[in-house]
Structure 1
């Protein structure tokens, strides 16, 4: 599927009511805007985790309407447990997130999404945002059943080919 700006989508989202979609690499503020554009173009209703400090006037209402869930990363509030509960209570929840947790250079991805997927028994659908080819690459769904570190490596491998807008910030 072709989108504006020369972007195209390769692959398809599975027909499921619940999933976690890690989108990587996350190296720029542009990632959010490309992601929202893709979400709207496909008519998707996604939820996403965002740093609590961006959920303020004048964009708070818009971010929540788009599916935003604020997270305070400074406090240990049990985000994994809260999201597992959300999945158990909602008939439909597709959670898109940046596994790096930031646009800045990091050495490792956050493991919370793998813990959530395993505990909630929902598939992980890796999505690569490849700025070098202007492709949103939707990879096949994965069920998380094994060792957390091995499963994280499997997800990372599925989207390792993608280059972010600022490749020097990629993990």
Structure 2
């Protein structure tokens, strides 16, 4: 497993204490489903996603609870000079040329790893979109891993991980479950939130 902000010896324990302090100073509460912390492999949704502040709070939360998330990105993002920084923040470069696509490449990463948490913002953008992108569902199904609902709620000042959902073969039914769960979660800019279709 590559070294990231979430698992670097000496540095991460210090950052974990900083994260706890910052969350307390900001007045945020972390809510975690313990069963999610026991899993070694899953897709972690990050929603609602309406501002770059979401990433900040998710990183602090992951540090606080000891989760080591990663994310897949186009290999172009990992070129000099920012490549090392992107990897240290959990990025995994994926070659999307030829016949590869991000869903298949991510499934392949899950199949190779003994532990892997892949963070996905299902809205795909901070702005309003038509519907959630469903790549996370196809990744979870293809890799036979569950989906953990990572959430942020600016109204309640809560951020967390859980519940854990196993994905069935009916996409519409699964999206309805996510729609119900996220219905009461309020992004920083609620008008920009895209609910599951």
TM-score (norm 2): 0.76
Q: Does the aligned pair in 2 maintain the 1:23–1:128 contact within 8 Å?
A: yes
Q: Return 5+ residue gaps in structure 2 as ranges.
A: 1-19
The alpha-carbon deviation at position 61 of structure 1 amounts to 1.6
Q: What corresponds to 1:107 in structure 2?
A: 130
Higher relative contact order (CA 8 A, sep 6+): 1
Structure 2 residue corresponding to 1:18, chosen from 26, 41, 52: 41
Q: Which residue, 145, 160, 164 being the options, matches 2:183? A: 160
3-state SS, counterpart of residue 58 of structure 2: helix
- Provide the C-alpha distance between the structure 1 equivalents of 2:52 and 2:93, rounded to a whole number of angstroms: 17
- The separation in 2 between residues aligned to 1:144 and 1:121, in whole angstroms, is 8
The answer to whether the 8 Å contact 2:48/2:185 transfers is: yes
C-alpha spacing 1:36/1:72, structure 2 compared with 1 (3 Å)? farther
Deviation at 1:8, TM superposition (A): 0.8
* Secondary structure of 1:26's aligned partner: coil
Q: Distance in 1 between matches of 2:140 and 2:60?
A: 25
Higher-Rg member (1/2): 2
Q: RMSD of the alignment, in Å?
A: 2.5
> Counterpart in 2 of 1:61?
84
Q: What per-residue deviation string (whole Å, max 9, x for no partner) do you get for residues 36-56 of structure 1? A: 111112222111235767545
For structure 1, the residue ranges without an aligned partner over 5 or more in a row are: none
* Residues 1:56 and 1:27: Cα distance change in structure 2 (over 3 Å): farther
Q: Are the aligned partners of 1:139 and 1:158 in contact in 2 as well (CA < 8 Å)?
A: no
Per the alignment, do residues 84 and 72 of structure 1 end up closer, same or farther by CA in structure 2, a change over 3 Å counting? closer
Structure with higher helix content: 2
Contact 2:61/2:160 (<8 A) preserved: no
Aligned length: 171
